Amino acid sequence: MLDFPIGELITPEEQVAVARAVAVMASRDDDVSDSERHFVEELMGQMMLLPEERDLVRKEFSSPGDLLQIAKAVKHREARIFLYYQAVCAAMADNVLVEGEKDALGKLAEAFEFEAETAERFVKWVQDSLELRERGQQILVEM
């Protein structure tokens, strides 16, 4: 899991864009699951978005905007990495990475000028990390 000092690295405008992009990412499979909604809600809480900003983000579930257009508002390298990480996590919130999500991640990586191979390795790393965390939580339940 990435540990970013969000407030220090990402402007308030970028935070809203990140949350909006992640909500769009969650809607890429045309079915926003409860786990995907919960993930976005937690992210908005972590970034301490204002109520009106949260409403703007939630609208992306029912009427998703253009992911790449929204992502253009994210300028700083750290903010882009943070967004990419959160986008992968949102796509994996329902434990399934569908073709539409893979395609969107590829386009986002390209827009951010991430090397394709590096972006693919990053996605795999995030998937592995999430799987390990889930296995660890299951072991704790069994103890």
pLDDT values of the chain reduced to their tens digit, one per residue, 143 residues: 555 556 567 788 999 999 999 999 888 777 788 888 998 999 999 889 999 999 999 999 989 999 999 999 999 888 899 899 999 988 888 777 888 889 999 999 999 999 999 999 999 999 999 889 889 999 999 99
Residue 101 has a pLDDT of: 87
Q: Quick one: pLDDT at residue 113? A: 94
Quick one: pLDDT at residue 25?
87
DSSP the chain: -----HHHHS-HHHHHHHHHHHHHHHTTTS---HHHHHHHHHHHHHTT--HHHHHHHHHHHHS---HHHHHTT--SHHHHHHHHHHHHHHHHTTS---HHHHHHHHHHHHHTT--HHHHHHHHHHHHHHHHHHHHHHHHHHH-
Domains and CATH numbers, the chain: 6-142 (1.10.3680.10)
Tell me what pLDDT residue 8 has.
63
Q: pTM score, two decimals? A: 0.84
